[in-house]
Structures are given as C-alpha cells and as structure tokens.
C-alpha cells in the first residue's frame, strides 16, 4: 500500500477546483481525489478532505468536529463579548453552527415552522410573484434565464417567505449573498472581511424589521412565526431568530442561484421525457432535484468543519483549528456508488439523500428551497413548452463556491 501511495502524483496535479479543466468537467478530478484515500491533505486550502460517504455520514451523525467558524485556525481572532459586532453575535452568541446542544434545541422548537402545511402556505405566497416575473418577461425569442429570472427568485422568496418588506430589498440584496464567503478558505482576507461587514449591514436591516414586526405582530410569514416561538421558549431568543433568517436568506440565496441555473440546464440537456416526470408534483421534483445536483456536480468545496483541539481523526493527527471538508459530491459519478452514473434519471433512488446534509445538521430549509425551485421550473415549462438552450453556456471561473454560468440563453420557440 505504501508503494501505491508513493506512486501517486501530487494531489495538486489531480485536483484543482479553480482550474479551467475542473470548470469544464469536474468528474475526473473528483474521482481521482476520492480514490487517493479516505482522508487527504490538500495543501492549497490547508485542509483535510474526507472523500468517502461512510466516513462523512459518521462524522455528520456523531459530530466529533466543530461547526464553529471561530474554531478555524485562520478565522479572525475571536473578540471578547463586549466587542462583538452583529456578525459575532450571530456566529458565536446564538449560532446554530456552534453549540450542538443549543442547535438541537432550536431545531426542535422551530420544526413546526418548516412543516408541510407551512411550506404549502409559503408556496401560495410565492407563486403569484413567480408568475408576475414571467409576465414581465413576456414572450421573447431568446432571453438570459440567469439575468431575467433566476437572479430575482431568492429575493422574491425573502419578502414573501421570511417577511422582509420590499422597501428593504435594495439595501439587503447586495450585502446578503456574500454570507457564505465568511468561512471560505480560498478567498483573500480582504474579501472575507468585506463579507463580514456585509453581514453586519444585513443584520442591522433584519433587526430593524424585527422591531417593526414586534409592533405589528399579527402577520402571516416566517418571521412572525419565529417571534411567536420566542414568546413560548425562554432559550430561544432574538439572536436565534437573526441566525435562522441569515442562514435562510444568505445560504439559501447562494444555493438557489446555483440551483436555478443547473435545474434548467440539466432538464434541457437531457431526454425531454424527464421534464414531465420531474415536474409531476413537488415530491417528484424533490427527488429530481437530487438527481440534477448529482448529475451536474456543481460543487467546488463541501461542508466545513474544524478540529476543536489537537486530536486523532480517521487515523490522522489533526492540529487544533485545522479545517476538515466533507465532500459528498466526490461520489456523484462513481460507478461503484451509482449504477450508470453518466445517465440522467430523475427517478433515481437516493438512500440516503445527502444533498442538504445529513443527521443533526441537515439543512432545515431544504423543503423551502426545493419548493421555490419547483414553482419556477413549472412556470418556465408551462409558458415555454418547447424551450431549448440557445447556446452551450460559458462557465464562470470567478465564483468562489460552485460552477455557475456567465449567462444562460434560452430559445423559447413560441413565436
């Protein structure tokens, strides 16, 4: 075994998510990384990468590592509490990321806010806005789906789902989408600090909205639901509300922008018979979206964790604070994991489905994200049943977290 390891080329020659080769086809690099070892040191990121699903699932389930951003060795210095800005209060004081016990409490008390009935009610709010967006689009011969539709969807969802009034849109839109950059190891300290300051501005707006809602509490939206939960649970406080909303808007917006592009691309790039199967119901689309995500392999990084102390982990000695990345997408085109992985099959069975994480840290807003995407895809194909790609989209190497398109031109064929 030692001889086999020594014969391997340097990992940087096999795996580079910032390369043009990865951008055009990440599959060979993902497979090469996964086949090196169950856990691999990646020097460019100063991080360990966990490459195989049994180990990832166990780590998610047992939580031996920290999810606290400030446990990262390259995080800004954890300031004393009397010097916390809004960002520190969200990421330390009431973070859903840090304290496992508090995290479980929050998930328990807010779970009714993510029930099927609530998601159905949110759909009723979002659907007219999605239709209005397509009404504004009209029936052009060719249009850029990214510019005209997908860039607007997250913020439609914000106003109708969370309950942030439209008067705050212009202020919050340009600051909230950088939330996920605050813990990205591939960007500069300056860019990370800009993202941190953007979070502070976004939280200022959220706090202002909360104060408005306290004065007029009887409104049918997610924020009002959280404020009612706060009244009945002394351990659930305003900081928890802010963190939940920040996660839904920030991470949700970032994820949705990527998902919108890849859902359209995957459905148009493959057998069109898959479209009707995918859009038959919210449940069929939920499964189809997992296949869209698997087939597309848009991820560059994965789920970040940090060693809370010097420790043994998967046979490796970890230094305190080192990042450990869970990369479940490395398996997505592995024939040992999926039958016929090159085929696009919206009825493929996923067991378990780990697109939104797994175990205690499963994304609490997954159902909401899938539902807004289902609404948009349904509207697109109802309006333009013969829509097709107008060109093979050019991929944008500048995105810090995922493979995205510079534009996504669609030909409607409706004239």
**Residue 5, pLDDT score:** 46
Q: At what angle do helices 189-215 and 169-176 cross, to 10 degrees?
A: 140
**Residue 179, pLDDT score:** 66
Residue 292 near residue 267 (C-beta atoms within 8 A)? yes
**Residue 224, pLDDT score:** 82
Query: From first to last of its 415 residues, what are the pLDDT tens digits of the chain?
Result: 344 445 789 999 999 999 999 999 999 999 999 999 999 999 999 999 999 999 999 998 888 998 888 889 988 788 888 888 887 777 665 555 556 677 777 777 777 766 777 777 777 878 898 999 999 999 999 999 999 998 888 777 767 777 788 788 778 766 666 666 776 666 778 888 888 888 888 888 889 989 988 888 766 777 888 888 888 888 888 888 887 777 676 655 667 778 899 999 999 999 999 999 999 999 999 899 999 999 999 988 888 899 999 999 999 999 999 999 999 999 999 999 999 999 999 999 888 777 766 666 666 667 777 888 899 999 999 999 999 999 999 999 888 778 999 999 999 998 6
Q: Is 46 left (phi over 0), alpha (psi -120 to 50) or beta?
A: left
Backbone angles phi, psi at 107, to 5 degrees: -60, -40
The CA-atom distances, in angstroms, between 32 and each of 2, 15, 207, 331 are: 18, 7, 46, 11
* pTM of structure: 0.85
For the chain, the maximum distance between any two Cα atoms, rounded to a whole number of angstroms, is 69
**Residue 192, pLDDT score:** 80
**Residue 96, pLDDT score:** 54
Residue 225 near residue 106 (C-beta atoms within 8 A)? no
- For residue 141, the Cα-to-chain-centroid distance in whole angstroms is 32
**Residue 360, pLDDT score:** 61
The terminus-to-terminus CA distance of the chain in angstroms comes to 63
Beta bridge partners of 402: 299
**Residue 16, pLDDT score:** 95
Ordered by where they begin, the domains of the chain are: 67-297+332-411 (1.10.630.10)
Looking up tokens 């209060």 gives: 89
**CB atoms near residue 174 (< 10 Å):** 12
**Residue 4, pLDDT score:** 45
């Amino acid at each position: 075994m030692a001889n086999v390891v020594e014969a391997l080329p340097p990992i940087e020659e096999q795996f580079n998510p910032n390369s043009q080769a990865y951008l055009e086809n990440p599959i060979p690099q993902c497979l090469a990384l996964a086949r090196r070892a169950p856990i691999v040191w990646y020097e460019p990121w100063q991080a360990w990468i966990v490459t195989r699903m049994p180990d990832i699932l166990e780590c998610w389930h047992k939580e031996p590592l920290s999810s606290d951003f400030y446990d990262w060795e390259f995080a800004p210095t954890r300031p004393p509490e009397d010097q916390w800005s809004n960002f520190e209060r969200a990421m330390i004081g009431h973070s859903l990321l840090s304290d496992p016990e508090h995290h479980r409490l929050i998930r328990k008390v807010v779970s009714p806010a993510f029930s099927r009935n609530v998601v159905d009610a949110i759909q009723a709010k979002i659907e007219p806005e999605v239709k209005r967006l397509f009404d504004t689009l009209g029936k052009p011969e060719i249009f850029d789906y990214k510019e005209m539709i997908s860039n607007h969807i997250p913020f439609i969802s914000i106003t109708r789902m969370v309950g942030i009034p439209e008067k705050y849109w212009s202020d919050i839109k340009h600051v909230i989408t950088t939330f996920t950059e605050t813990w990205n190891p591939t960007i500069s300290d300056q860019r990370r600090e800009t993202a941190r300051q953007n979070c502070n501005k976004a939280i200022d707006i959220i706090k202002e909205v909360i104060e408005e809602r306290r004065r007029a509490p009887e409104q049918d939206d997610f924020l009002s639901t959280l404020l009612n939960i706060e009244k009945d649970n002394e351990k659930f406080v305003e900081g928890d509300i802010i963190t939940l909303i920040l996660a839904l808007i920030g991470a949700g917006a970032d994820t949705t922008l990527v998902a919108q592009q890849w859902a359209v691309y995957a459905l148009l790039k493959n057998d069109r018979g898959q479209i009707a199967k995918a859009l038959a119901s919210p449940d069929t689309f939920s499964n189809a979206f997992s296949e869209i995500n698997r087939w597309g392999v848009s991820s560059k990084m994965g789920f970040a964790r940090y060693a809370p102390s010097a420790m043994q982990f998967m046979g490796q000695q970890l230094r305190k604070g080192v990042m450990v990345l869970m990369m479940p997408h490395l398996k997505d085109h592995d024939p040992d994991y999926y039958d016929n992985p090159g085929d696009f099959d919206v009825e493929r069975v996923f067991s378990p489905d780990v697109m939104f994480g797994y175990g205690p840290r499963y994304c609490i807003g997954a159902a909401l994200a899938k539902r807004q995407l289902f609404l948009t895809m349904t509207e697109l194909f109802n309006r333009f049943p013969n829509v097709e790609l107008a060109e093979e989209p050019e991929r944008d190497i500048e995105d810090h977290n995922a493979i995205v398109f510079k534009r996504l031109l669609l030909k409607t064929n409706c004239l």
